[in-house]
Amino acid sequence: MNLEEQIEKIVRSHGAEFYDTETVHENDQTIYRVYITKEGGVDLDTCAEISNDLSPLLDVHPPVSGNYFLEVSSPGIERTLKKPRHFQSAVGERVKLKIAGGEKLRGVLESADETGIVVKNKEGQQRFDYPQILKARTYYDWN
């Protein structure tokens, strides 16, 4: 079982779903983030409980070299989409895409399967296979 599978097992034991991880460097510190989702939303208590359960695992199997801080949180309303399951869970939401070749577009994610997505915008429906998508994230129209 790889590290992500072990993390997923711990997250699920708390009634939440594992979304993704990322490692960032902020203010000369390394932060290892574990993103989770949960029906009804993610609360601070759930994040703290999962963090407490993940700490011993990550002490034995460090996710990065050197010192780091562990953060457990929701991916947020505007979140990065990387894996097919991320896109599938975001069907019906607004997305921003950067496509191979430099094209950028916004639209509503109409559908997603194991090979790609369909986005609808003012130009109509467009299908993109995952390898064509360089960056993708949901966005909220704050107006």
Q: How far apart are CA 42 and CA 17, in angstroms?
A: 10
Please list the residues that pair with 20 across neighbouring strands. Answer: 35
Do 50 and 74 meet the contact criterion of CB atoms below 8 Å apart?
no
pLDDT tens series, the chain, 143 aa: 799 999 999 999 999 999 999 999 999 999 999 999 998 889 999 999 999 999 999 999 999 999 999 999 999 889 999 999 999 999 999 999 999 988 999 999 999 999 999 999 998 999 999 999 999 999 988 87
CA dihedral 75, 129, 108, 23 (to 10 degrees): 20
